[in-house]
């Protein structure tokens, strides 16, 4: 359980682009404490876990493993990168590159082949997802607290 909890904590933190130090600051703990949690060497109290969930914009159940496969969560609620989400964004990137190439809005040259363009677009999709996610989480948390 601790290893899975640690893995989920780390994924959620990285998805938001937070350092361990910043996450620790947000919940009033130390960076080594966060590191120990992520390595599965410590178990947080329920109040600390609730603070982590709030800071990371995740439901408490996410960290307790209630949705092991992530199937109950919709696309924006899934942590990137997961295998399924990564494959989906890679397919999306491939389709976008193919459409741009066929419409001649994008061209390859001797130094940049189609696969490289797919990699670039795939990374851009993931970066955009993280940016949008980081800006919508604070609004969602605020809306939830106003209910």
**What pLDDT, on the 0 to 100 scale, is given for residue 80?**
46
pLDDT digits (tens, 9 = 90+) for 16-61: 899 999 999 999 999 999 999 999 899 888 889 888 988 998 887 7
- CA-CA distance, 50 to 47, in Å (whole number)? 5
pLDDT digits (tens, 9 = 90+) for 52-108: 988 998 887 777 765 444 444 444 444 445 667 778 888 888 998 889 888 888 777
Provide mean pLDDT across the span 119-135.
75
Print burial letters for 44-59: b (CB count within 10 Å at least 16), e (below 16).
Answer: beeebbebbbbbbbbe
Q: Cα angle vertex 60, ends 146, 81, to 5°?
A: 105
- CA-CA distance, 92 to 102, in Å (whole number)? 15
**What pLDDT, on the 0 to 100 scale, is given for residue 13?**
92
Mean pLDDT of the chain: 78
- CA-CA distance, 70 to 82, in Å (whole number)? 10
Question: Is there a contact between 24 and 34 (Cβ–Cβ < 8 Å)?
Answer: yes
Q: Which residue has the higher pLDDT, 4 or 66?
A: 4
């Amino acid at each position: 359980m601790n290893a899975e909890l640690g893995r989920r904590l780390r994924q959620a933190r990285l998805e938001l682009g937070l350092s361990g130090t910043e996450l620790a600051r947000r919940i009033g703990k130390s960076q080594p404490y966060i590191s120990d949690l992520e390595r599965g060497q410590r178990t947080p109290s329920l109040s600390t876990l609730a603070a982590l969930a709030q800071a990371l914009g995740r439901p408490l159940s996410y960290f307790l493993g209630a949705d092991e496969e992530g199937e109950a969560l919709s696309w924006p609620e899934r942590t990137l990168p997961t295998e399924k989400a990564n494959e989906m964004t890679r397919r999306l990137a491939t389709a976008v590159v193919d459409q741009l190439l066929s419409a001649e809005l994008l061209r390859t040259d001797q130094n940049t082949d189609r696969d490289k363009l797919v990699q670039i677009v795939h990374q851009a999709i993931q970066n955009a997802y993280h940016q949008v996610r980081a800006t919508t989480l604070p609004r969602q948390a605020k809306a939830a607290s106003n209910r």
